[in-house]
A = this chain, B = another copy of it.
Amino acid sequence: MIETKEGTPVLPHHRLAFDELIQASQKACDALSEADDGLKREVLGHAGNRWSLGVVHALGVAGTLRHADLGRRLDGVSQRMLTRTLRHLERDGLIARHDFQEVPPRVTYSLTDLGRGLLTSMMPLWSWVIDNAPAFRAARRAYDADSR
């Protein structure tokens, strides 16, 4: 069983600065719930997707890339999953697909303004994950050690 550990700080009451952020978060959630609850996870779902963030990031850095270029930059991706990912991102308006209608085929992908917005909005979260990577690993170890 997992108990509250002395090393894990669990404050009985919130800090004031955090409370303000919670208020904003509450408002944000309510606004989303009214509009479309599914949309939230659908958009944020790209974060949990294995390749989506890699594609968005690669396009952000390179500007415009072809299918094969992306496949080379994303280590281990199959054509099938790359195509699927690109379709999903395109469907959500995050990337733009440009088919030159040539033979041999030439298709390029680039970020839309929406895609750039997502990338920039992800930045704080991104850096937070990096800063707290050690904390995550420590939590994992503690959990695994405890459940043994």
Interface residues of A, Cβ cutoff 8 Å to B: 1-4, 8-14, 18, 21-22, 24-26, 28-29, 31-32, 35-36, 39-41, 43-50, 53, 57, 60-61, 63-64, 90-93, 96-99, 110, 112-114, 116-130, 132-133, 135-140, 142-143
Chain B residue nearest to A42 in the complex (CB): B136
| Interface pair B48/A46, CB less than 8 Å apart | yes
* A48 and B39 contact, Cβ closer than 8 Å, known pairs A90-B2, A112-B10, A136-B92: no
| Interface pair B125/A125, CB less than 8 Å apart | yes
Chain B residue nearest to A32 in the complex (CB): B130
A49 CA to B113 CA in the complex, in Å?
A: 26
| Interface pair A60/B91, CB less than 8 Å apart | no
Chain B residue nearest to A59 in the complex (CB): B22
